[in-house]
Amino acid sequence: MSGKALAINIDHIDTDAIIPSKYLIMPREEWRKHVFEGLVLNKSLKIHKDTIIVTGKNFGCGSSRVEAVYALKDAGVIAVVAKSFARIFFRNAISVNLPVIECDLTEIVMDGDTLLIDLDKGIVLKNGEAVCSFSLPSLIKEIFKIGFLNWIKKLEKIGDEIGKN
């Protein structure tokens, strides 16, 4: 996958900063308009189609709300690269099929850099140059490739086949 970087080089961005809870009473299609309103920075954050967020450690901490992942995806985020993730956010991202990559790119990547993430090879390229390598379990790679619901259907099919034997 390829996209433009949005560098938010701070740590501990919680789910309420990603999508403040006051917006969760709105229809889901409205959430994307309010992504990162709970984050106070000295710059405005513009998410466009095919945005790859680059950020610090413990991204997605706080509550376990999956709505934060949906809001990011709906806004145009195709992946998040962080030093580390809160466990529940990482798990929610897998379920919603938002690739989450643990790499420290905070000193390397600037807003607007073109990033390419190759899940199979486990590398991130910046403007064509490898800047990070990572490892994902093959199961998570498969889920990111086919989507969580398709993966569940695949398991159900395997279970049906086993049940026939």
Do 58 and 11 fall into the same domain?
A: yes
Average pLDDT over residues 124-141: 93
Structure tokens, 22: 């006051």
- CATH number of the domain bearing residue 51: 3.20.19.10
Give the list of residues 6+ apart from residue 48 with CB closer than 8 angstroms, or none.
4, 76
The average pLDDT across 74-99 equals: 96
Question: Are 89 and 156 within one domain?
Answer: no
The overall pTM is greater than 0.85? yes
Same-domain pairing of 115 and 142: no
Q: How many domains does the chain have?
A: 2
89 and 129 co-located in one domain: yes
| 146 and 130 part of one domain | no
Q: What is the mean pLDDT of the chain?
A: 93
69 plus 130 within the same structural domain: yes
Same domain, 80 and 146: no
Q: Are 76 and 109 in the same domain?
A: yes
Taking phi over 0 as left and psi of -120 to 50 as alpha, with beta for the rest, 88 belongs to alpha
125: β partners: 116, 130
Nearest in space to 49 (alpha carbons), one of 92, 13, 79, 91: 79
Domain that holds residue 12: 2-134
pLDDT tens digits, residue range 1-44? 999 999 998 999 999 999 999 999 999 999 999 999 988 787 77
Do 93 and 147 fall within a single domain?
A: no
Mode of pairing for the β-strands spanning 77-82 and 129-133 = unpaired
Q: Are residues 99 and 165 in the same domain?
A: no
